[in-house]
Structure 1
Amino acid sequence: MYSTYIARQAILDRNSRTIGYELLFRESPDNRFPEIDQDIASSKLIIQNHLQGDIKAISLGKLSFINFTEKCLINKYPLFFDRKSIVIELVGHTSPTERLLKIVKYYFEKGYRIALTEYDLDEKWDVLFPFISIIKVDIEKNNPKRLQSIVKRIKPFNIKLAAEKVETRFQLQSLAEVGFNFYQGYFYHEPEIIEGQTLAPIKAQMLHLISETFNTPLDFEVIAEIISRDVNLSVGLLKMVNNVATSTRVEITSLKQATAYLGEEKLKQFVTILALSKLTTDKTDEVSKQALITAKLMTSLATADAFEKAREYAFITGLLSAIEVVLSMPMSEIIETMPLAEPIEKALVHREGVLGELLSFVTDYIVGKGENMENVAEVYGLSSDYMHKEFVEACRWCQELGI
């Protein structure tokens, strides 16, 4: 049985809402893929490891964009998946051969959505237009301005354009003007910083709430007072108590009692998760989900001996890792408003210390950044099976939160 790493990258629409994820399958540490093409090996691993059941969790119920070579398509690997849950990405093609056209038509008639990748703007690909749903364009290799004529040619077929390697909001806006519908890459590069922006009262209140979780011991009365100012937080707290009290019925008479019932550890997680949800907008929803998965995965991996010194702060560090994107403020300015422990500050601002190493490792793993992730994992004493299992569990946990 072979092991894989799985990374993912969000694909968003013009309103920055996630429509799906491209799933990136990595080699196992021992590279046991004899005499087989990389993409074919990846596709076989999807099936061998029964990832059909995991894909829904990894993609948080959204579409899964999966790369398939021509040979994968001939072997009918996509048929192992629900046609409503995946998008077939065509890879490894330099020209639209008659055989490729026949294959694409076959899956189109089966009801699968198909994306043409590695598109070089040549008219030779027009023959595939009646059967594809999305064209993905690498904007580093192709000047978007050249797509004006192509937009007209694809219009009769209702094909959507997706831009890959989008790094800035300026690009996002200009690409929308050209005619692009979807974007990939923006949330996984340097966050856009808006200098001098002040926090709205509700955001300041949520940061205050998060800050209170760092006090030892926790002041349940203060936390209950802050929560009481927001109906949604209050309802969420009571639901959390109900979920925890699975075996006995608990009669809660006050929010302070509810906070005390949860106990410090569960209350800390509850408060930070709900506070983050209140800070989130439609444009930062994907970032917040990524932060939740990062927090959960960091907590799981912190059980490894290599990250022993990071265990205490793993969850909150992961959760706050994307806070500058959520608030559109520099991390250094946000840190000043929160009484964070020094290891957390160093990890968030400079990626320093064991905690910073763990944060960098987890964020790189999730988005498939870096060519030597397998070797790095081995250095930390982590197996690919364990990494994959914990990543899937983190995704499933995030989906079940429903926020």
Structure 2
Amino acid sequence: MITSKKLLQLSASAAILAAIVLPQGAGAAGPSTTVPAPALTLVQSAKATNEYSTYIQQQYGIQLSGTVSREQFASALSKLEASISSISEKDAAAKGFLAAGAAPFTIGEAISAVVKAADLKELAATYSDEKVNAALKKAEIAYEKGGGLSAQNAQELAVAIDTGLISAAQLKAAKVTGAVSADLAYQFLGKVTEFSGHYKNYLGTVGEEGIYGKLAQAWYESQIIKAGELQELVDTALKQNLITGYNLKDAAFDPHFDPALTITYGHSDLIHAIQLIGLLKSEGIDAKVQFEPKTSAFIYLKEWGEPVQTDDYQVVQIENGNYIAYAKEYDLSFEFASVDEKKRFQPLILKYAKKDSEDAVGLLKGSWWQPLYHSRTELADYPVITNNLLKDGRYIVQSFSLNDQSAKVVQGFKKLDSQVEIETYQFWVDQPFYNYLLGEYK
């Protein structure tokens, strides 16, 4: 185990053996001759749909294939709505969805349900005939009052196009009266989670120009996290030396990224984060970026001198004269475009963000002796450790440990509260941080 004095020399995150927090029908077809949609638009739509498909399967366990029936879509939509607290039972689009009976299940019918589930019903009702015709014209759908489409159906289609529930190109190719494919069903379900705030949650991408300002703003808006009774429990564990520290996070910032494509990187310096994103961009690597506020807590020994407090670093003195220190930090989660892109991350960190000597040059500002980044899926040259996790509502405490020390960490928490629920799982971490857990300073 690393000594207490050296704990202060490391960053608050890398300075603790315990804790980091991680922790959505009638229809009138257009002209009989279908004009192919632009190839780029269809490729982009296919890529987005694949993301929705993966997300819905991973997060909700919904499996669809081939042509989707009304019963299958209603069941899937109901499962989503049950997990989205903003959708009440009386507003649930899936409720009464099977009333159409044996009639063919069409894209138009699915859109009607999705418009309601995505809370766009009132917006659709504001659409004038002029706005409806302007939107439907993009999909080459003819609309006249008294025709094949009711006024409400037409408004729903129009708002679906304008808000991106379905693109005009997709609707033109598939037709309002067409069957619902699994890919399109996944897209609709994904849009429902997106509109309700239950889809992927991120600031932007490495490649976009505004990402640096967004990152800075997120940092300045974050503050030291407090978590009531959960924090009282882990603070008591600190006082009794059952753990050496912990990290605290707010699950509201969970990015919900694909674990197979994601690496999470922890640090405490804003400029380091900005430079890291600049480094990835300069190397031609793009990724979604989520900023996750994090607070690290550890014991500050009284012999280290009077601690200097700021808005980002606070201490509370405990009975033996020592202090519990709370430091504002962050995790950056990156979802890469592919596993190969994900694999490119570590070589860059080891070359440009890993301190190997006091006078090292050519490194990002604030580089650590033991950078901390991890993956929920296996990567070559990444050792396996254990996360010991406690939850209370939206707050999460995590304690990282060597695999053979996990039982001891769990026992420490159980000693304080025999009823506390602790989730443990193994994951992959960088070698320098693993070395730190072994007690190595460099």
The structure in which a higher percent of residues are strand is 2
Give the structure, 1 or 2, with the largest relative contact order (CA under 8 Å, sep 6 or more): 2
TM-score class, shorter-chain normalisation, is under 0.3
The structure in which a higher percent of residues are helix is 1
Is the radius of gyration larger for structure 1 or structure 2?
2
